[in-house]
């Protein structure tokens, strides 16, 4: 077996672990087993799915947050575009893991890394979702097992690799604060969107401040280079979603 | 619920396809990249904050702290999640 394929299967198995949590959380949040599985089959992007089931109390916020979190897949697609044919099919498999695993020196290896990882994660993620959802329905009270703490823990595991630089840490703290402060004033789910808006404004403001700095500082500070995006994907894939 | 699921799924697919379809220069802007890089950070942080502390401080806060420790110890994903759930469940059992 080629090392790329072996790695792709390993990443798929790790993702399966997260899929179990997702399936159980989804039914604990009130989705049926078919609904939980439909999200994994059709939405197929982990962070968006966790956010969706975490916010089902307010469906517009659930959809809006899922889309905002899914926007990064579009950025991965930009880099993958020259390597992939059958774009309508390939698009569904553009996720953190396949983007990270397709950073390869040759076009053939790039394609193999993308498809092997995308298909492996798809298979493991969907099977695990089903298993997790079935297991979740057997629970009478999700709170007794602490499942309501499992959601935030999933998000923290996704967030942690991004917090190694100062700016993401600042943005994360600001977003958390903005969300909590707005909780009493807006409907459920909306605080997350308030935080996103505040963070977007802060990011644009930070850009203005950094204009006076040197060019390498600007690029390094913002993590804008393609290699930084890819490295982010690598770090994320280690965490499993 | 099904409507939201299909709408969200269709939107996420369109976003994936858009990256494979749009001209590169549209997203080359530094501001666009900057917001796109920081948006997931903000959303995840806000989700953690509201789902842990949105109803005040309870056993979930201890679960989150335990998850943070597990992450610092480089625990795998499922162990991090299980640690948070188990800590919260245990705390509820004894209080």
The pLDDT tens digits of the residues spanning A59-83 come to 999 999 999 989 888 878 887 888 8
DSSP H helical ranges for chain B:
2-21, 30-53, 59-72, 77-94
Q: Is A158 exposed, middle or buried (0-12, 13-18, 19+ CB in 10 A)?
A: buried
Q: How many residues does chain B have?
A: 95
pLDDT at A166: 92
Q: What is the ipTM of this complex?
A: 0.88
pLDDT at A169: 95
CB A58 within 8 A of CB A172: no
Determine the residue of chain B that is closest to A67 in CA distance.
B12
Instruction: Give the percent of chain A with pLDDT over 90.
Output: 48
Block residue for tokens 């790329």: A4
Determine the residue of chain A that is closest to B85 in CA distance.
A146
Q: Which residues of A touch B52 (CB under 8 A)?
A: 149, 152
**CA–CA separation, A174 vs A201, rounded Å?**
11
Q: Quick check: B9 and A206 CB within 8 A?
A: no
Strand partners, B54: B56
Domain coordinates in residue numbering, chain A? 3-161+229-239, 166-222
Per-residue pLDDT for A219 more than 70?
A: no
Q: How far is CA A163 from CA B19, B33, B41, B53, in A?
A: 25, 17, 8, 20
The pLDDT tens digits of the residues spanning A96-155 come to 889 888 888 899 999 999 999 999 999 999 999 999 999 999 877 777 888 888 888 988
pLDDT at A2: 87
Domain coordinates in residue numbering, chain B? 1-55, 57-95
Q: Quick check: B46 and A179 CB within 8 A?
A: yes
CB A71 within 8 A of CB A196: no
pLDDT at B24: 66
CB A173 within 8 A of CB A202: no
Determine the residue of chain A that is closest to B7 in CA distance.
A63
Residue A232's pLDDT band, with cuts at 50, 70 and 90, is very low
Tokens of A187: 């409907």
Tokens of A69: 């979190």
For the residues B37-43, what does the mean pLDDT come to? 84
Tokens of A79: 């880099």
**Mind telling me how many Å the CA of B57 is from chain A's nearest CA?**
12
pLDDT at B29: 75
Q: For residue B50, give the nearest of A136, A236, A61 by alpha carbon.
A: A61
pTM exceeds 0.80 for this model: no
Q: Quick check: A229 and B24 CB within 8 A?
A: no
Q: Which residues of A touch B69 (CB under 8 A)?
A: none
Per-residue pLDDT for A211 more than 50?
A: no
For the residues B78-83, what does the mean pLDDT come to? 88
């Amino acid at each position: 077996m080629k090392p790329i394929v072996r790695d792709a299967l390993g990443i798929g198995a790790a993702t399966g672990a997260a899929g179990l949590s997702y399936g159980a959380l989804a039914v604990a949040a009130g989705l049926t087993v078919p609904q939980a599985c439909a999200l994994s089959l059709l939405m197929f992007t982990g962070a968006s799915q966790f956010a969706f089931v975490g916010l089902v109390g307010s469906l517009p916020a659930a959809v809006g947050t899922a889309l905002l979190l899914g926007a990064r897949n579009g950025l991965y697609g930009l880099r993958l575009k020259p390597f992939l044919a059958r774009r309508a099919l390939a698009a569904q498999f553009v996720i953190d893991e396949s983007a990270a695993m397709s950073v390869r020196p040759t076009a053939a290896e790039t394609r193999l890394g993308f498809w092997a990882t995308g298909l492996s994660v798809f298979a493991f993620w969907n099977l695990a979702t089903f298993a997790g959802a079935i297991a979740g329905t057997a629970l009478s009270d999700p709170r007794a097992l602490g499942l309501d703490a499992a959601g935030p823990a999933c998000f923290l595991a996704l967030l942690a690799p991004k917090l190694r630089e100062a700016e993401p840490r600042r943005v994360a703290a600001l977003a958390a604060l903005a969300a909590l402060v707005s909780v009493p004033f807006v409907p459920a789910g909306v605080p997350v969107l308030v935080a996103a808006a505040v963070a977007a404004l802060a990011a644009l403001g930070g850009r203005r401040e950094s204009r006076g700095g040197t060019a390498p500082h600007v690029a390094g500070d913002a993590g804008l280079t393609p290699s930084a995006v890819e490295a982010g994907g690598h770090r994320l894939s280690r965490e499993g979603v | 619920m099904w409507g939201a699921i299909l709408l969200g799924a269709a939107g996420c697919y369109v976003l994936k396809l858009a990256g494979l379809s749009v001209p590169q220069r549209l997203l080359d802007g530094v501001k666009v990249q900057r917001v796109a890089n920081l948006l997931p950070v903000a959303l995840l942080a806000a989700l953690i904050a509201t789902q842990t502390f949105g109803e005040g401080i309870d056993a979930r806060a201890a679960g989150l702290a335990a998850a943070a420790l597990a992450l610092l110890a480089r625990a795998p994903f499922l162990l991090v999640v299980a640690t948070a759930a188990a800590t919260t469940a245990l705390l509820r059992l004894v209080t």
